[in-house]
A and B are shown apart, each in its own frame.
Chain A
Amino acid sequence: MSILENAELENELRKIASYIVTLRREIAVLQANEMHMKKIPAAGQELAAVVNSTEGATNEIMAIAENVLSADASDPAAYKEFVDKEMMALFETCAFQDLTGQRISRVVKTLEHIEARVSRFATYTGVEDDPEYASEQEAVEIARRRELLLHGPSIADDGNTQPMIDKLLATFRNP
């Protein structure tokens, strides 16, 4: 090997070593373990709590409505007293919104934290996305959602309103 080739090889190795050092630093900054062990599970717990509390509150509100609808109204004074009491319970139940709002704020902060770390990692390492990559399980789920048109609730103007759907259905009746 010539001196020139040796120098080139040494230069390449220096670049690789430098890249490895950068990569190690960026992996550390990514805090993948903290994300995996703490932040993502905590966000999952927050969302589960939101689902539970909204479900619980909805059931309580419906129970109040059912009680009022089925109450005996033959004695107006007693009926009013009963309805007033149920309405107070309804106001109390609506307090769940404050707690769910706080929980969702924490989840949003976690997502912002992850986004910032992953974005920095991608920038510093120069890694490009592989748009075709999906795990076997993800690929099955993606295919199912595509085949069965499973999009979930729309955001903002992404979907149709009821009047738009009615108009669309009418085009089938009167082509």
Chain B
Amino acid sequence: MAADIGMPILVVDDYKTMIRIIRNLLKQLGFEDVDEAADGKEALGKLRGKKYGLVISDWNMEPMTGYELLREVRADPSLSRTPFIMVTAESKTENVVAAKKAGVNNYIVKPFNAATLKNKIDSVFTA
């Protein structure tokens, strides 16, 4: 199953610049319905108010990290099946393993390019 171009996507990052970069890359890939949140706590509020087809989240944020957001999402029965891609500068093995064990669908290390983002989104929806 290919990714639905019309699905709402939530991008979570505490750097406005990074959100703008991801939003532009998603737009180039055809995804126009993109919302944003500045940390895990704000993202969780948005996720509980609207059904998203995909979450793309940074790891290192205050007050709630992307890792905590992932665990909250997977622990909530109404959100637990939401595809979740981590996009982060955290590239240590223990981070990747912890994210995978917590239920992440894919993991992108910063800096990344449009091809990598497309490839990871595609693989989430074709897995």
Task: Kindly state whether residue B65 has any CB partner on chain A within 8 Å.
Answer: yes
| Closest Cβ–Cβ distance, residue A155 to chain B (whole Å) | 11
* A59-B17, A148-B65, A149-B67 as given contacts; A169 in contact with B92, CB under 8 Å: no
Interface residues of A in 126-175 (CB under 8 A from B): 148-154, 158-162, 165, 168-169, 172-173
Task: Kindly state whether residue A62 has any CB partner on chain B within 8 Å.
Answer: yes
Complexed CA–CA distance, A54 and B21 (Å): 14
Task: Kindly state whether residue B29 has any CB partner on chain A within 8 Å.
Answer: no
Q: Would B96 and A62 count as touching, CB distance under 8 A? A: no
Q: Which of B1-9, B46-54, B76-84, B108-116 contacts A (4 or more CB under 8 A)?
A: B108-116
Task: Kindly state whether residue B98 has any CB partner on chain A within 8 Å.
Answer: yes
Q: Would A154 and B98 count as touching, CB distance under 8 A? A: no
Q: Would A160 and B89 count as touching, CB distance under 8 A? A: no
Q: Would A150 and B60 count as touching, CB distance under 8 A? A: yes
Q: Would B17 and A149 count as touching, CB distance under 8 A? A: no
Q: Would A149 and B109 count as touching, CB distance under 8 A? A: no
Q: Would B21 and A149 count as touching, CB distance under 8 A? A: no
Task: Kindly state whether residue A65 has any CB partner on chain B within 8 Å.
Answer: yes
Q: Would B93 and A168 count as touching, CB distance under 8 A? A: yes
Chain A residues contacting B112 (CB-CB under 8 Å) are: 162
Interface residues of A in 51-78 (CB under 8 A from B): 55, 58-59, 62, 65-66, 69
State the A residues within 8 Å of B (CB). 55, 58-59, 62, 65-66, 69, 148-154, 158-162, 165, 168-169, 172-173
State the B residues within 8 Å of A (CB). 17, 20-21, 24, 28, 59-60, 65, 67-68, 89-98, 100, 106-110, 112, 116, 127
